[in-house]
């Protein structure tokens, strides 16, 4: 049930403009802000991270996820509502909400929170 609520809340954020350090539905969010905003809306965390760089390294995001109470699992064990962590070209860290067949994330290239199917790329 909670997993469905996480995905529903994340989908509610689709269209929120991309904004570095943002975490406000409708006003602006970056990838971490989306995940934190969804978790806060559902009262799953009260973690308040220190500001991070606009292009965080994967280890920087891993540290924040650990401090927020997340534990890592292999991708094949992921379920809808989990936080998906991945590396984008250039070695940059990125996170979003896994839906089972797609990922919802704040994507700077799209300028907003979007839902994209998972591909090998």
Instruction: Show pLDDT as tens, one digit a residue, over the chain (121 residues).
Output: 899 999 999 999 999 999 988 999 999 999 888 998 998 899 987 767 666 665 655 666 676 676 667 777 777 788 999 988 877 777 677 889 999 989 999 998 899 999 999 776 5
Domain count, the chain: 1
SS3 111: coil
Residue 120 lies in a domain: no
Residues in contact with 34: Cβ distance below 8 Å, sequence separation at least 6, in sequence order:
10, 13, 16, 23, 96, 97, 104, 105, 106, 113
Q: What is the CATH number of the domain that holds 51?
A: 3.90.1720.10
**Domain enclosing residue 83, as ranges:** 2-115
CB–CB of 29/113 below 8 Å? Answer: yes
Residue 61 lies in a domain: yes
Residue 48 lies in a domain: yes
């Amino acid at each position: 049930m909670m997993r469905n609520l996480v995905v529903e809340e994340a989908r509610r954020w689709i269209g929120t403009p991309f904004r570095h350090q943002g975490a406000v539905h409708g006003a602006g969010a970056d990838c971490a802000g989306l995940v934190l905003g969804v978790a806060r809306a559902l009262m799953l965390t009260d973690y308040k991270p220190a500001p991070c760089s606009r292009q965080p390294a994967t280890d920087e995001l891993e540290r924040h996820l650990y401090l927020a109470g997340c534990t890592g699992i292999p991708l094949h064990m992921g379920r809808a509502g989990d936080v998906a962590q991945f590396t984008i070209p250039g070695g940059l860290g990125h996170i979003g909400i896994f839906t089972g067949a797609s990922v919802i994330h704040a994507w700077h290239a799209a300028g907003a929170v979007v839902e994209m199917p998972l591909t090998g790329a």
